[in-house]
Amino acid sequence: MSIKRLSIYLAVFFFATISATSAFAERTPWGYGPSDGPKKWGSLTEKFSLCKDGKIQSPININTERVKELKLKELDFDYKSSSAVRMINTGHTVKIVHDEPSLLKYADGSGESDLFQFHFHSPSEHTVDGRRYDMEMHLIHKNKAGNISIVGVFIREGEYNPEFDLMWDFLPKEIGDEDIFRSYNPVNLLPENKEYYKYTGSITTPPCIENVAWFILKEPIELSAEQIETFRAVHDHNVRPLQPLNNRTVRSTGIFIDDEDIDGSGNAQVDDPFEDTFDENFENTFEDDLIEDDSFEDTLEDTQDYE
C-alpha cells in the first residue's frame, strides 16, 4: 500500500471516528434506572416528549377476550442470510444489525418492509392476558416511505434452542462491545406458526415514536433456562411498563368474536408489576395502518439506534 493511500485511509478513519463520537455525545442518555428510567424519559429532553404525552404507546397487554378478527393476511418472512452480522451491546440491549435485504410482507406481496435490526428484552415487554414471558425479541423493519413495523416474538423457558448458539457464543458482554459472526438468517429464529396480533403503537424506547405497526406472533419460541440466563447476565429488566390502550383495537388471526363483545372503552389493562417497582430495581397494508406525520422524518434517524 502506498503512503498516499494509507494517508487517505487514516484520514477517513479519523473523521469517521470524530463524527461518531460527536453524534454519540449529542444523544440524550437514558436507561432503566430510577433517574433515567421509563417514568423519567419524557422529561429528559423535548425529543422524548412522546414517551410522556403519546396516546398510542407500546407495549400493551393483549386481552384475548377483546381482540377483533378481521381476516388478517398471512405474513411472509422473505429473510436472507447476511454474510457478516454485527452484534452490538448498546448498554440497553444486544442489537443485531442485519444488512442483507430481507423483506417482511404479506403473502399476497403487498406491504414490503425491510429488516434492518433485531434485539431482545428480558422479560417480555408485551403481555397476553397479563402473562409476561421470559424474553421478547423485536425485529425492526422499515419501508421505502420510512414507516416502521415491528414483529414481536415471545420467548419462554423450555427446550434448548440450537439456533441461538452462534449469537450467544459471540454475545458482547460489555457496553460498547461489538462482534461480527458468519452468515446467518434470522428466519430460523421464528416459530413455525406465524399467526399474530396486530395493533398500532410506538417504539418502546426513547424517543417513543408513534404510528408503528406491531405484529406480535402468538406462538412463542423456546430457550433453555441456561440460554435465558446467558442473556440476562448481560441485560435484564430492560423493559418499559405497560401503556394504556386508549381505545385502540387489537386485531387477531384465528379468533372470531362479535362486535358487541368488544368493550367500547378499549382500556383492557391488567396490573403490571413493573409499573411501581421497575425504576426501583434499577385490513390493510403496512402503509394503511400508519398515520402521516410531518415530524416523522425528523426523528427517523433516532430509530436507527432503536433498542
Q: What is the Cα–Cα distance from 214 to 203, expressed in whole angstroms?
A: 9
Residues 90, 92, 253, 307: which is the catalytic one? 92
As a residue count, the chain comes to 307
Task: Classify burial at 132, counting beta carbons within 10 Å of its beta carbon; exposed 0-12, middle 13-18, buried 19 or more.
Answer: buried
Q: What is the Cα–Cα distance from 236 to 229, expressed in whole angstroms?
A: 9
Q: Which three cell numbers stand for residue 2?
A: 502506498
Residues 125, 136, 210, 307: which is the catalytic one? 125
Told to judge if 121 belongs to the known catalytic residues of this protein, a careful annotator would answer yes
Told to judge if 92 belongs to the known catalytic residues of this protein, a careful annotator would answer yes
Short-list 117, 123, 110, CA closest to 151 = 117
Q: Which three cell numbers stand for residue 126?
A: 408485551
- The type of residue at 160 is Y
Question: 198 CB contacts (<8 Å, ≥6 apart)?
Answer: 72, 213, 214, 215, 216, 250, 251, 252, 283, 289
Residues 90, 93, 204, 253: which is the catalytic one? 204
Q: Confirm if 221 and 189 have CB atoms less than 8 A apart.
A: yes
Residues 138, 200, 253, 307: which is the catalytic one? 138
Residues 90, 98, 119, 307: which is the catalytic one? 119
Residues 121, 126, 141, 235: which is the catalytic one? 121
Question: 60 CB contacts (<8 Å, ≥6 apart)?
Answer: 126, 199, 201, 242, 243, 244, 245, 248, 250, 269
Told to judge if 163 belongs to the known catalytic residues of this protein, a careful annotator would answer no
Q: Confirm if 192 and 171 have CB atoms less than 8 A apart.
A: no
Told to judge if 141 belongs to the known catalytic residues of this protein, a careful annotator would answer no
Coil, strand or helix at 274: helix
Q: Which three cell numbers stand for residue 51?
A: 414517551
Q: What is the Cα–Cα distance from 135 to 122, expressed in whole angstroms?
A: 4
Q: What is the Cα–Cα distance from 112 to 149, expressed in whole angstroms?
A: 10
Q: Which three cell numbers stand for residue 295?
A: 415530524
Told to judge if 125 belongs to the known catalytic residues of this protein, a careful annotator would answer yes
- Catalytic residues, by residue number, are 92, 119, 121, 125, 138, 204
